[in-house]
Amino acid sequence: MTTKTAISYGETEEFKKDFKKLLKKYRSLEEDLELAKIAAIELFHLKKINNSSVFPIPGYCSGEILVCKLKKFACKALKGRGSKSGIRIIYAFHVKTLRVDFIEIYFKADQENEDRERIKNYLL
C-alpha cells in the first residue's frame, strides 16, 4: 500500500546539476532522498515532529515560505556514517500550497555552507 503524500516536490535546475554530480559519487542518493522526504521533511512540516534534522534558515523565512536546511541525511553510499553523512539539502517549503522546491544539495566536506546567493535568487 502506497500512501500519497500531501506535499508536492520540485527541483531547481541548479539542484538537478548538484544532484547529478553527487550521484556519480554516491550511488544510493536517489533512494536516500526519497527516504528523507518521508523521514524528515514530511515529519517536520506535516506532522510537526521535530527530530532535529530540519532547520529553518534565519532571514529567509516568512509566514508563506520556509527556506530550510536538512542536516540529518542518511546516505547508504557513505557507509558507517548513519544520518551524519555530511550531505546537506536546502529547500523551500511553501506553507499554503504544501510544495517543496529543492534548491541545493552539497557534501559538507566540499562546501562549508549553503549558497546564500542561490537562495536569494530563488526567492526573487
Domains of the chain: 8-123 (3.30.2310.20)
Q: Which of 55, 114, 67 is nearest to 93 (CA)?
A: 67
Q: What is the pLDDT of residues 56-95, one digit of tens each?
A: 999 999 999 999 999 988 888 887 776 677 899 999 999 9
pLDDT digits (tens, 9 = 90+) for 89-114: 999 999 999 999 999 999 998 898 99
Q: Is residue 105 within 8 Å of residue 119, measured between CB atoms? A: no
User: What's the rounded Cα separation, in Å, for the pair 71 and 54?
Assistant: 6
